[in-house]
Amino acid sequence: MFNLILFGPPGAGKGTHSIRLMDQYGLVHISTGDIFRAEITNKTELGTKAKAFMDKGELVPDEIVLGMLFSVMDRFNDAKGFVFDGFPRTIVQAEKFEEMLEVRKMPITLVISLDVDDEELIRRLVKRGLESGRTDDTEEIIRQRLNVYNKQTKPLLDFYTKKKLLHSIHGLGTIDDIFNNICKKIDFI
């Protein structure tokens, strides 16, 4: 089983490339953000709880995220593997996630980090917010999300580097060029 974590700050292109990777390699795409947005749209209890955190640019608590994530994974028992889009987001999540994957004998194969500077991320996300109407894509909330990312998520770079799983990809350029660079890393494994 091939399990890939696509890692990077908000707006780095994780969603765009995860979908392409799903198609290219036959993986199941799991985006906690997409799952939460669906729950919010459907006005579920989970969605209401998640929205309260997301609207402030904060991370949703680990127990909610992990429970939801494994519930979705359980629907795909015959999958070739998964591409995890922007998850985990904290060291604690990564450790708990790893423990749960070990029990299922589904280790992480590779972690790819998309590296993009903050000003480009803000430009991309403000544009996305204007085009899509996403309430969490205002400049103020984006800056808060980047602060949360830098404090809570960026330490995962060291976490996965120590495990010899992390490979960085420059996240600027055409979508095709970035995608081809990701595929080169995957095909090398």
Cβ–Cβ under 8 Å, residues 171 and 178: yes
Positions marked catalytic: 14, 89, 128, 134, 145
Residue tagged 């917010």 (tokens): 129
3-class SS string, the chain: CEEEEEECCCCCCHHHHHHHHHHHHCCEEEEHHHHHHHHHHCCCHHHHHHHHHHCCCCCCCHHHHHHHHHHHHCCCCCCCEEEEECCCCCHHHHHHHHHHHHHCCCCCCEEEEEECCHHHHHHHHHHHHHHHCCCCCCHHHHHHHHHHHHHHHCCHHHHHHHCCCEEEEECCCCHHHHHHHHHHHHHHC
26: left (phi over 0), alpha (psi -120 to 50) or beta: left
